[in-house]
Amino acid sequence: MNSDATTARIEHTVAIVVPVYRGEQVLPALIEEIDRSTTSRVSAGGNRFRVSEVVLVHDVGPDLSDVTIRTLADQYDYVRPVWLSRNFGQHAATLAGMSSTSADWIVTMDEDGQHDPEAIGSMLDTALATRAPVVYAEPTNAPPHSFFRNLTSRMAHWAARLMGVGPNYRFHSFRLVLGETGRGLAAYCGESVYLDVALTWVVDRTATCPMAMREERGGRSGYSPRLLASHFWRMVLTSGTRPLRLVALFGALLGFGALVLTGWVVWSRLTHEVPVQGWTSVMVILLVTSGGVLFSLGILAEYLAIASKSAMGKPLYLVVSDPAEGPLGRAAGEEAAAMQVNAETAGRAEPALPTQG
């Protein structure tokens, strides 16, 4: 039997992990789209696959996403909720969902509808054709964001390549990961570690799959400029030792500049071209050197902060049971039931008899 026929006979199971922060209104439409892939399908490349589970990770957002998740879990037997004790962020929620899967492959996607579940077959074809354990979506259209955000994103990509982040910086939240790789990564990935950088630690190659991104559902992105900057900074700090080498290079350049400036000042003084007052040149030297030292110390302090967090054992996330079924949920339910009983009792109370004059 030839290998193509054998490959076509194998059914790859896929688990979809969706971090949920503001999914009250958008999750039902996403699950409807995914539902078409929960029966066996054949991709364009002839590979058979099936979505066997959808893991919805409740990241404790500001809306009623938890109610929507429970409704979907009751309606679809392949929907599995994962409850976090508080909001830990998208990357931690993604890792929590990865660790809760059991399929051959893991697909991570956003809740806002930008990522088309129909593209999963193409990503699987790319993974099998290139023998890559990780495949990222490569958008063929401009992201539906503002000009400023797109510009800063391109600048972040350039800076990431300069820092040596990964073999090829094309990270994207819509990704296909080999199941055992994703679950193994979730087991050791610690606090403040950028998920995609951690993936480059354990895989020898990644691939990309071109696809068009759709418009967001349910309003604008919840990422503020501050959160995006923090996101980028965490990626840089977990990228390895390249930033430290850049700091050393920066210090060497400052040292060379200081030597040149010192030679010029001494020559000018010997040729009587410099007045007695040397305040300006002294201040320039102090500012340049102190600025370089402070910049270097700032980066070193960030590395020490990450090391101290890891040493303290601060958890990346904590999975808990459904809050509605725990003691707090039962207490709230009992209080609501008591209030309802009191209201009904008050409504059934007999009116007071009129007093006789």
Residue 353 and residue 338: Cα distance in Å, rounded?
28
Determine the pLDDT at residue 13: 95
| Position 347, amino acid | G
| Span of 25-29, 229-233, 289-293, 349-353 with lowest mean pLDDT | 349-353
Q: Residue ranges of the alpha helices (H) in 10-79?
A: 27-35, 65-75
Determine the pLDDT at residue 32: 95
Is residue 204 within 8 A of residue 168, CB to CB? The reply is no
Residue 228 and residue 234: Cα distance in Å, rounded?
10
Residue 214: what are its φ and ψ, rounded to 5°?
A: -100, 170
Determine the pLDDT at residue 89: 84
* pLDDT for residue 356 is more than 50: no
CB atoms within 10 A of CB 312: 8
Q: Tens digits of per-residue pLDDT, 244-291?
A: 666 666 766 766 666 677 667 667 666 766 565 665 567 667 767 766
* pLDDT for residue 330 is more than 60: no
Q: Tens digits of per-residue pLDDT, 68-104?
A: 999 999 999 999 999 999 998 888 899 999 999 999 9
Place of tokens 């809306």: 63
Angle CA 29–33–39, to nearest 5:
140
Determine the pLDDT at residue 179: 92
Residue 307, Cβ density class (10 Å: 0-12 exposed, 13-18 middle, ≥19 buried): exposed
Of residues 109 and 284, more confidence is placed in: 109
pLDDT (mean) for 11-40:
95
Q: Which residues pair with 57 in a beta bridge?
A: 19, 82
Angle CA 169–175–177, to nearest 5:
105
Residue 84: what are its φ and ψ, rounded to 5°?
A: -95, 150
Determine the pLDDT at residue 355: 46
Q: Tens digits of per-residue pLDDT, 300-326?
A: 766 766 675 666 555 566 666 677 776
DSSP per-residue letters across 256-312: HHHHHHHHHHHHHHHTT-S-S--HHHHHHHHHHHHHHHHHHHHHHHHHHHHHHHHHH
Determine the pLDDT at residue 237: 61
Residue 45 and residue 49: Cα distance in Å, rounded?
11
Determine the pLDDT at residue 65: 94
User: Span 12-220: which CATH code?
Assistant: 3.90.550.10
Determine the pLDDT at residue 353: 47
106 CB-near residues (< 8 Å, 6+ apart): 14, 15, 16, 17, 98, 176, 177, 178, 179, 182, 183
Banded model confidence at residue 1, pLDDT cuts 50, 70, 90: very low
Q: Comparing C-alpha atoms, which of 106, 27, 115 is closest to residue 67?
A: 27
| Span of 21-35, 100-114, 232-246, 294-308 with lowest mean pLDDT | 232-246
Q: Tens digits of per-residue pLDDT, 116-163?
A: 999 999 999 999 999 999 999 998 887 655 555 555 566 666 655 555
Determine the pLDDT at residue 317: 65
Name the average pLDDT for the chain.
76
Q: Tens digits of per-residue pLDDT, 169-186?
A: 567 889 999 999 999 888
